[in-house]
Structures are given as C-alpha cells and as structure tokens.
Structure 1
C-alpha cells in the first residue's frame, strides 16, 4: 500500500521516541472498562487518566511534572456512581475537565491550580438528561462553555455548561453513536453511527446536511473533521480489514480509501490541523502510524510507523501549545499500558537551534472566540490563533462560575408535576412534589379568600367615609 515515488515533505523523517522510565507515570491502575475511548486526556498542565475504582467511576489528574511511581492513595476525581467512559479537557480553561459515565450523567470538574491534594467528589456542574450511559463528551472548539455529549440512548445533547441546560437535542441516529467531531469553527459536527452511516449535521438548525455509508464492516468506525472541511474516517471492510478513508462532504464521495491490516482493534485517529498530519493509534496495537493529508494524489500519504513492544490500552494527545518547540517537537502522545502511562515524543530532525516557522504556524490558543450565548444565537468564528515563537506561556484561568438561573425555571414531567430542569424523579421525590403542589394550591386558595375579604372591608370603609 501507498507505493510510489518518494515525495518531498518536511514530515517525511518524523520519528517517535519513548521517554526514559523515570519520566513515565508508574503504578496506575488503568480502567478495564470495555469501551473504545482513549481513556486519557492531556493539556499543557495536567494528564488525566481513567482508572479502576471500586463502587463507582474515577479518573486521576496528575501535573505533567509528577512523574515516577504514583502512590496508591493518590487522590482521584470520584463523584460518578458508575464507571467513567470518556474525559476531555476544556480547550479554553486548563483547569476544567468534563467526564461522561455509565451513571447517565456528565460532570464538569474544576481542578485546583497545583493539582489534587484530596479526592474530589463534588463537581462544579452536573448535567443530567441522558437516559442511558454517556460514552462521548466533546467541548466546542471556539465557544466558551459549550459541550456536546452522546449517549447509548442514541441522542446528542449540546449543553450550555454555564447554565447547565441542554439547549440543543439531536435525535436523528437510529443506533449507537461511535464518534463525533466538530469542524474548525464549530458550526458543524460529523458523527459515525452503528448503522454504518456518516452524518454531517448543522446542530443549531437540527438538520442532517449530508449522510452516506462510509465503511461496510460492522465494527466501530471513527470520523474527524479536517481543516479544509473534508472528513477522515477509520473503519472496517466487509472482510473485517481495517480501513482509512478521506471524504468530500459536498459530493459525499470518497477521495481516497486504503486497506490497512486485519487486526480487530479500533483505530483512534488524532488530527493536527496545523500540519495536516493524522496519527492512527489502534486499541491493543503496539504502534502509531502517521500520515500527511495533502491536495495531491493519493491525498493520504503514509509517513512512518512508531512501534514498541507493549500494546496500548488508550492514548492521550497533547495540544500544540504544550509542546517543546526548541526541540522541534510536533506532537506528544501519552500511551496507556496496563499499569503505567508512557509519553512518546514525535520530532522533526533539524540541525538549527532557531525557531522553525514552517513547523509551527500560528495555532489555536486558549482564548475562546465566542461566548456560549453568541454561538447558540448563530454566530461562528474561527479559533483565536497564537504564535509559539517564544514558547507558550499559560494564561491565568478565570474561575468557572456556573449560573444557576436555569435551575429556577420549572418544567412539567409526564405526570404534570413540576420538576427542575434536568432532574430525574424517583417515587419518593414525586410524592414530596405532590405534597408541595397541594400546599401551594391551599396557599393560593387562602390568598384568594383574603383578597376577597380585603376588597369587602375597603368597600365598607368607603361607605363610612362618605
């Protein structure tokens, strides 16, 4: 596969290198949940890893510099009552992380500046609305406090995290949603579904603007939006061979499609919009393959493969602003083993010590381009870019303060009882609500009779005055 003449590319000699043992994170009990997420999320300050937890779900948050053996008593984020399935750091706040769980909730957590000193059980916000487990959480790339979630109820919610409201509900998938991806300015999402169809959705219009079959195989597929609006997918053929493909959304046609191998692990794609490189990490594989996407045939160009002896349980991908530009580092992965997390550094060999402008075009910074309300009203903006020439200096994050106004607005459930938005009711709470409703009715009747009595007294006073 991928045969042909050698082509010119500055990324042709990219090579990967695992760090030394003392720079790994050791003695971590990585989650054994059978779910095809990456189990790891990283940003320039922290690495978060979903871990085994008795009686609920938990994940560990470690400052990047805290390497070596991790104590068994190290604090965790452990507020979920079921296993955690997916985590993602907010792109606009390095201390804010979202988690989705088997307990059907999404929780937003505020991590202290210096990391955890004690386990956290109380989230900053709990988002409730899904009726089955939540397997995908994904922050909006340019709007503050906008979060997408997808559950096994086949529904996508888009939340205003600041008000804890599910503003948009997308119920257009007949089966399980395998993956979701925002486009560059967050105006569209693409989804991969168990019905083998790829969908491009305008979430604010709640419309499917393109839908087509991507891979014939029954095993899970993945899809990511590229910077130019095309979509890159990984999946399986009818003969259960792993495939990658590139799609033109407007024509719904395949630009390129390649067979990979016959392994059965799901290929997780990680895309770098600055360099147009795609890295493929298979669950259970020992390798990371990387490709360059260009406008010339065959469009998807194989570059190289990084291999180790140990298979990977999951993988984290560092945002560009967290890389060491002085060493020509163009990507960094955090590979999960059974009991440890191993950083892997990808570099482009250069002799010069000067800043390499061609490797580091301006990249998406942490400042959001829009507020949540602006995006929900229909505005779109590209990410606000920053230069990495002098290295990335973390900005001070403002404290996340959710607005509770939405919780004061009541809604009716099926039985007509008033309930709080996003709150699921059990039998005890329903009976209590009925008591409260009855008491309110009694008070209203009392107020009405008192109003009538006041009116009569005022009439009598008016007659006496005359």
Structure 2
C-alpha cells in the first residue's frame, strides 16, 4: 500500500503565461473553420492555418517572438482547396505533409532561408476525400490517411500505397498510431465509433466499438501509452474524455470524465515521458492539465489555466526544444485569431542550477527505428532515445536577429515618408511624389537622415522663442497655424521646417498657378515619424496619406480662383481648443462624462418595437434633427418612426406609427437647414422628401411632400450639401454619383465614381470636395462642380476588405480619415497613422465633431462608444474616456451643436437606438465654474444649421466660406475675461490707488464685446496673482459679498504690525568693528 503515499513528480506542473514580448502576435490567422488541430510543431518549425482561400499555411521557426506580419512569415501554398490536415514527419523536422479533400497528398521541405519546396506528391485516386493524416510513430516515411469509409497506409518517400483499410463507418476524422507502431486507431462517425487496426495483419479492423453518444461535429482519438484516449461529447453536448485499456476493447472504459458544455471539441495531447495529458477546447480559453497514472483515478487532475484568448488550435512542442535548466518539461502552443502563445509547463524546484534527471528521462530522438519497408516486413523496433542533459542537448532555438542600424533606418524611412493631404478650397490637387523624389532637408539624402530624424522626434517642431529649460517646456498642440501679415514663409531649415498648412497659404497667394509648376508639398518629418502601433486585426481608423505613383492617380482639374489666402487667415486665426501636455500630449476632453437615459434629462423612449436591424451596411441607421429622431422600422413597406425629442416617454402599445415609403429603406437624412424635411432613399430608385411637423396627427396616412424618381437603380447613400441649401448628393447602385436640386427636382451632375459599389461618401466642410470609398478598395475625391467628371484625387488599395467602411474630412479639411475593417497583416507603413480600436464583426460608424475635432466611434451591436480627439500632428488620436452601455446599440445619431447646453459644458448630444429603447446621450466635460462660458472648450462653432448660399450660387462657384458662430449665451461672461478682470482687480487693490488721481481703485466688470483690441506695451508686465472666486447670485438675485471684501473687513479689525524680529536684537559694539 506504499504506492498510496508516493507522490508524482509532475503533480505540481504549472503552465506559465508568457510575457507580451515572447508571444508571436499580429499573425494573419483570422477565423478558422477547419476540423484539424490548426497548428503543428516540429523541433525546428511551427506550421499553422492562415486566413485566405484555405489552401495556405504559415510557417515560422521555433523560438520566433514579437510582431510578425504576412510578409515576415513563410507561406506554403499547399492546395487550391481548404487544407483538411497537416503534420510534420517525426524523424524529419523540415518535412511537412498536407492533404486536402480532393487533391493529391503533398510533402513540403521547409527552410528558414528559402521558400518552401514541394518534395513529393502522392495521388490516392480521384474522389478520395482525405480528412486526416498521421505519420508513423517508429518507422520513417510512413503516413496513414483516412477518408470516407477508407484508410490508406502509404510511403510518401516512394510515393506508393502499402495498404488500403476498410470497415470504417461514415467519415473518419481522427487517427493515431500506438507508441510501438503496431496498432492504428481511427475515430469516425463524428466521434461515435472507434476502429482498431493491425495493418500488417489485415485490412479490416480487429475490433470496432462505440465511444461517445453526443451530437458534436468532431471527435479525437489518441494513444496514451498502453491506453487509448478518446475526446467527444455526451448526449447533452458536454465535452467528454474516455480512457480504455489496450487489449480490453470489449470492456467499458476505465475512466470517463466530463468537462464543460460547449460546441468545441477538446483537443488532446499526450507526453509519454511525463504522462501528462493536455486538453484544450476549441472556441474556449481553458487549458486542462491531467496526469495519467496506473491507479484510480486513471486521469488525475493537475491544474487548469485560463488563457487570455479563445483557442482556435493547439499543439505540444518537441521535447528536444524545452529549456531543461528552467524546469520546463513541455511547451504548449495556443493558436488564436492573431497570435501564437507559447505556454511553458514548468515543474517547480527549489533550484535550477543543476539538471534534474528525474524530470527529464531519455526521450525519443530524431532517428527512426526502421524504414517503411522494414516495418511492413515485420520490424518492431523502437526509436533510439536521447538524453536531454545539457551536455547532450540539441542546439538552442534560433534567436531573433538583432536590429542593425541599417534596418532601423529602413523602418524609420518607411514610417516618415512624406504624407500628403487633400487640397482645400481653391488649391489644385496635391502632386503625389515618388518615394525616391522626396526632398531632404539641407540637400542631404533622405536615407542618411532617417535615423537622425527619429532621434530628433521629441524636439519641438517650431521655435516659440521662449527661453525656458528643456524640461520646463510645455508643448501646446494647436490646430491653426499662425500666418504673418506679409504671408512670408520661413526657409526650409533644420530648426524650422515648412508646415504643409503654411505651404498652402503661400501657394494660394499666387493666382492661376498650375500644378505641374508648383513646388512639392513637404511636411515636417518629425511630426510624422511615429511608428505604426497596430495591436490586432480589427476595426481601425486610418488617415489618408500619400503612396507611390503606381497605386495613385492625381487628375488635374480646373478650380475656381478665389481669395484663398483670406480664407486661410480666417481659419488659422480661429480659436480652437488646444490639447496641452505636461510630459505627454493629452486632450482637454479626456475626462468626458456621458449621461444616458434618465440621467440625460429623462430622455428615454421605451416600448420601442420592430426596429429594423437589417439595414444596408452603407446606412448609419437612425438620424436626428433638432426636433425629431427618425428610426427605420422593419417590414416591406419601409416604415420610419418619427419621435419628438422634447416628448420622450413610453410609446403606446399596438401598431407602430410612422411614415410609409412603400419600398425598402436604404438610407435617410434630415435636411440640416430644415429640421422638418426628411429625405428617404429606397431600393426602387425613388427619393421621398417628407415634411414633418409637431402638429401632425397619425403619420401612417401621410404622403411625401415630393418624390424624386432617380432611375431604376437602388439608392445607396444620401448626403446633403453642408453649405448650399436644397443640394443632395446621391450614390447609386450603378457606381455613379448624382447631384440633385431637390427644390426644383432637377439633376445637376452625374459622375462615374468607382468600378464597384460605393461604400461611403462625405462632403468636405467647405462643400467643394466629395470623398467616396468603393468596393474596388479605392478612395476618390471629386469636385462635383467639375464638368469633366474626373476625380481630383484617387488612391487604390486604401481598404483591406470590400465590406462596409466610412470616410470623412477632418482638421479643417486637411486630412481624410478612413474607418474600416482592418487587417493588420498588410499594414502600409507609408500611411500617416493607423489605430486599432476594437475586435468586432461590424465596422465602426464614426461621427466627427468639427469644432472639437472629436471622433465618436460605435459599431452596430457594440456596447461601447470609443472617443478620440483627432490632431493634425503626432500622436494623431488622443484617447478620451469611453462610454459603455448595458446593452448593444443598433445606431447612434447625433444632434447639431445648436442643441448643446454649453452652460452645462455639454459639447455633444446624441440618441442611442436599441431594439427596445431610444435614449438620449449627453457628452460633457466636468468643470467647476459652470456659471462662466468655457471658451477653451467651445470655439466658434461651424454653422451647420443655416445655409450659407443657394444652389445657384454654389453652381456659379461662389467664394462664400463656412460661417462660424459663438455659442456663448448673452449676458454670460467668458472664462478668460473673468480671469483677466479678477487679475486686474487684485493688482489695483494691492496698489491701493489709481494710477491717475490716487483715489482707491474700483472693481469694474467690462463686457467682453466692448473690450478694445490689445495694444503692445513697453512696460514690464507684473506676475499676475491668482484670480478670486466668482461672485455668485443668491435666490433673490442680489450679489453676495465678494471674497475680497470679506478679507478687507478682517484686515481693518486686525492691527498692522510692521516691526521686524531683528529690531529687538542686540548688535555688536562699535569698538568691536575692525576696519580693514
């Protein structure tokens, strides 16, 4: 009975999650739909499925670490169809065998310095649907394949079939050789049946027995020493593992264990040296570690590890690659959507200075016991074993190469390639420069300066002429550039690089200047030298930038001559909120507070029903004006519910009221200049213009005010012009753009846009440019006033996928932002910046606030609204506090800035649509002095609620620019002027008299509008004192006593004592002084 107290050496084996730098991440794996293990390992390589057509495998050396993109890994183009199974040959670490459903079996020779080579093919006959394979455990070059009702024993070296096995019920899914190589076990019929073969004694099974009774899609079988382990499901869809004694197949299993209820099968692996069993479920994040023993329980529990991501595949590495001096007995590899996570399994010991031979018995080496022909003739030898002691240890895994200065230069050059931005109003399209034509500073070549520029990225870009120590400099990130009165531009020197915005200003002063004669536009490389920081394959935000001419076309087109420099001065001098940093760049809005539903002024519509959740991906869903929110409802009649934003509450039961469009709704938009006009696009090629008021009764019998019959094509996207009234841009399913005057119901222009469907469309803020994204993965920028119909700018390959995407202009139309489903494997290092937001199946729908430069990002079905402040310079996206709702959102629609209560520091108001509710969202910044107008948060707002021009003026290429309007209520003091007044009051009270007549100074509040323009002074400015607290109003409207008056009243009661301590001290006698 002594065995009861004999502890196992491996009972405390602990899987250890690796650090981030030890993980292979950003791999192009994606979502797999295979029935194999997904990943296989030899002593030299890791092979795994990658996304694509299904017939490709990725290969990396064992020991690879860090970020690996598609271009950094080896690709095995194995088959035209999906690969069903693959495996390394156990006695040839560089040979990889692959099989597909209806193709030849192929053997590939891998190399770390060359492309994978096809080493051999084996044709098993047409119609053979190969499902799984398994190399022999003792003999070289023997591989078993299983198909539907048939299995094959082959010699892949001689490319011959030794034997064809029969007697398999339904489709075989898993097979394994016994440790001595005599028996072959095959699991078939979705894991419900197991067949045991002795291939050298006959082609029929020696025994067939039932294994699992579940309804799962997969099953696994594995020899574990002298036992057979099977993985499947119970009749209740619970993961189940069973264990049989070899030779006692007719008896029930000696061990049965259930795990969790899920649809993913447990992938089993067995280490014969430690007798450890690894079980990891597909689609779960659990790793179960058990130990096989000779007594009950035959599978003893060791530990359970929660992995950081879901498992798509798993394997156990070669014993010849473990780090024995760290106590690592096995390495478990987890395959996820974008990474391979190596998990070392370590046995804790007090010290690892010495080799623990009891943990590392001699293991199977790389030499086979016999050849395939010898085994088939009756050889039963076992492979020779090798010692894992450091003296006889194999060579360590290949290390990652250390980046050399030349490689750093290459990365830096790719990261700081000059980004080009879109031309604003009155500027010809930006010329796209080839990579080798990028001008360098001071005439030096770009390649020699790349590393130097990376080192100088932290230095201030512009000299502010402030003589402060470097550590005391506080950088302020502004959106407007200072423009001198003479429009002079500094020379291109190392200290003061020319900003792209200043180059625009200089170019605009020269009228009728042709593009081919203009200087190339160059941005400061230090502002764009931050490397890409892509975390995973997911939805991403990508500002547009220049690329090489082979994928970009710039088509010149005539543009109206105008006073562009005046417009630039107006925008440059406009006050915008600054993102200040002390140590790092942050946003003033970073602590944004989001109020929802009841907290947002009781803004909840409940009992909402029949919300249309199947709108086209090009549509944003619901939309809002200052009076109403329009919500598409499900049904063939194209019903849209209209809800008054001032009357939230519970909707009545019964049939949902709304307007009927008599066709499926594809997109809808409120007229920004008319809060009662709604444009609805349908799949029948008709645009319905509805006139909706608060005095309307039941709307189910209303008729459209106007109907515009476009054509037989489906309406895809509708976008109102941001400045001109009654102008509507329409994207059609025939890949064309049309511009309509809805007041006159006349077609103004028709422009061909893309070679595929149009995914997104957006106007620039000045209304002169229209950006579109198409399913041809191209970005196009149009001038709809151009009669030629040619795009001003095109860039191919902007999108990673032809699925839904969004585009918009930002930063005073100097930047284009693309939001898409992003594949991190094909990152273009020449882009300005790319930011991964989240992992999701639906694209993020952005909303851009022109005044604050804040982007709101929310996907359909997501609970989180991500917010960033967009800047024109690095780091481009400043994160804000996100908002997470308790349920998923169907759509988020935003009001204009006019609806915000600026005195409550609200900078955006929106509505969140769910399947059952419609709730108001209020985004505000926490501030203390809410009785003052926060001018640092609310610059003059872009007027989007009032038209600037008529359609006729716009067609005549009017020079009218966007209007800006202050949001400050009348009678409210600016925060800046209040601070200045308090400072001046403190200074005069400290002096006690007026500078002219000597009388006591009186505190006077001067309205902001009446303040004169500041004049330069020659006098020295005294350091300002801290401002006093603002005077508050009580309930009777009377002013409370000022804090300064209270302080003065106390000063009058306390006697002033100007006597110094040293006045009472005795000094030295006169005689004690000595004259020198």
Whether contact under 8 Å (2:587, 2:879) holds in the other structure is no
The question of 1:85 aligning with 2:670 is answered no
Within 5 Å, which residues of 2 pair with 1:209-224? 209-212=792-795, 213-224=797-808
Alpha-carbon distance in structure 2 between the residues aligned to 1:60 and 1:163:
27
Check the 8 A contact 1:218/1:238 in 2, yes or no: no
Residue equivalent to 2:791? 208
Q: CA deviation at 1:45?
A: 1.4
Match of 2:817 in 1: 232
What are the within-5 Å matches in structure 2 for residues 98-113 of structure 1? 98-113=679-694
Match of 1:124 among 705, 708, 716: 705
Distance 1:172 1:2, change over 3 A: closer
Q: Does 1:193 align with 2:766?
A: no
Paired residue secondary structure (1:373): helix
Work out which of the residue numbers 899, 903, 911 in structure 2 matches 1:326: 903
**Superposed CA offset, 1:117-169 (max 9, x none):** 43354212111123222121111000010011112222211100111112111
Is the 2:724–2:951 Cα contact (8 Å) retained in structure 1? yes
Tell me which of 31, 35, 52 is aligned to 2:616. Answer: 35
153 and 240 in structure 1: CA distance in 2 versus 1, 3 angstrom threshold = farther
Match of 1:274 among 833, 851, 854: 851
CA distance in 2, matches of 1:134, 1:340: 28
State the Cα deviation string for residues 410-447 of structure 1 (Å, max 9, x = none): xxxxxxxxxxxxxxxxxxxxxxxxxxxxxxxxxxxxxx
Aligned to 1:372: 951
| Higher strand proportion (structure 1 or 2) | 1
TM-superposition CA deviations, 1:219-259 (whole Å, max 9, x none): 22110111233111111233699x9x9x9xxxxx6321122
**Residue-by-residue CA offset, 1:74-105 (whole Å, 9 max, x unaligned):** 53121x22121211111111111111112221
Corresponding residue of 1:425: none
Unaligned runs of 5+ in 2: 1-532, 536-580, 971-1076
SS, match of residue 9 in structure 1: coil
* Pairwise CA distance, 1:211: 1.0
Asked if the contact 1:157–1:169 (Cα under 8 Å) also holds between the matched residues in 2, the reply is: yes
Answer whether contact 1:61 1:115 (CA < 8 A) is retained: no
Q: CA 1:358–1:116 in structure 2 vs 1: closer, same or farther (change >3 Å)?
A: farther
1:388 Cα deviation from its structure 2 partner:
1.9
Structure scoring higher RCO (CA < 8 A, sep ≥ 6) equals: 1
Supply the RMSD in Å over aligned alpha carbons.
2.4
1:116 is displaced (CA, Å) by 4.8
The corresponding residue for 1:313 is: 890
Alpha-carbon distance between aligned partners in 1 of 2:959 and 2:706, rounded to the nearest angstrom: 26
Contact 1:49/1:60 (<8 A) preserved: yes
For 2:939 and 2:877, the matched residues in 1 are separated by 21
Contact 2:673 2:725 in 1 (8 A): yes
Q: CA deviation at 1:73?
A: 4.4
Bigger radius of gyration among the two: 2
Among 865, 868, 871, which residue is 1:291 paired with? 868
Residue 403 of structure 1 corresponds to none
> Which residue in 1 is equivalent to 2:604?
24
Unaligned runs of 5+ in 1: 248-252, 392-466
Q: Output the TM-score relative to the length of structure 2.
A: 0.34
Moved more, 132-141 or 18-27: 18-27
1:427 paired residue number: none
Give the secondary structure class of the aligned counterpart of 1:260: strand
Kept in 2, the 8 Å contact 1:217–1:240? The answer is no
1:416 maps to what in 2?
A: none
Q: Is the 8 A contact 2:861 2:890 kept in 1?
A: yes
Structure 2: how far apart are the matches of 1:161 and 1:224?
A: 24
Is the CA contact 1:186–1:380 (under 8 Å) kept in the aligned structure 2?
A: no
Name the CA distance, whole Å, in 2 between partners of 1:370 and 1:267. 33
* Pairs within 5 Å for 1:386-405: 386-390=965-969
Give the number of aligned pairs. Answer: 381
CA distance in 1, matches of 2:627, 2:947: 18
- Is 1:9 aligned to 2:591, yes or no? no
User: Higher mean Cα deviation, 358-367 or 183-192?
Assistant: 358-367
Structure 1: how far apart are the matches of 2:701 and 2:728?
Answer: 21
- Relative to structure 1, the CA distance from residue 114 to residue 326 in structure 2 (aligned partners, 3 Å threshold; closer, same or farther) is farther
| Stretch deviating more after TM superposition (367-376 or 300-309) | 300-309
Separation in structure 2 between the aligned mates of residue 240 and residue 51 of structure 1, nearest angstrom: 39
Distance 2:879 2:775 in 1: 28
C-alpha contact 1:130 1:151 (8 A) present in aligned 2: no
What TM-score do the two structures reach when normalised by structure 1? 0.77
Deviations 1:255-308 (A, max 9, x none): 211223331111101000000111111111111001111133121222232111
How far did residue 189 of structure 1 move?
0.3
Alpha-carbon contact 1:217-1:239 (below 8 Å) kept: no
Q: 2:658 aligns with which of 76, 87, 91?
A: 76
Query: Partner residue of 2:573?
Result: none
**Would the aligned equivalents of 2:774 and 2:802 in 1 still touch at CA under 8 Å?**
no
Deviation at 1:172, TM superposition (A): 2.4
* Aligned equivalent of 1:47: 629
Q: Is the contact between residue 81 and residue 103 of structure 1 (CA under 8 Å) also seen in structure 2? A: no
* Conservation of the 8 A alpha-carbon contact between 1:314 and 1:336: yes
In structure 2, how many angstroms separate the alpha carbons of the residues matched to 1:385 and 1:119? 39
SS of the residue corresponding to residue 268 of structure 1 reads strand
Q: Cα–Cα, structure 1 residues 8 and 32, in superposed 2: closer, same or farther, change >3 Å?
A: closer
Partner of 1:338: 915
Residue of 829, 832, 851 corresponding to 1:255: 832
Retained in 2: the 8 A contact 1:181–1:190?
yes
**What is the match of residue 247 of structure 2?**
none
SS at match of 2:838: coil
CA contact (8 A) 1:107 1:126 kept: yes
Q: Secondary structure at the match of 1:103?
A: coil
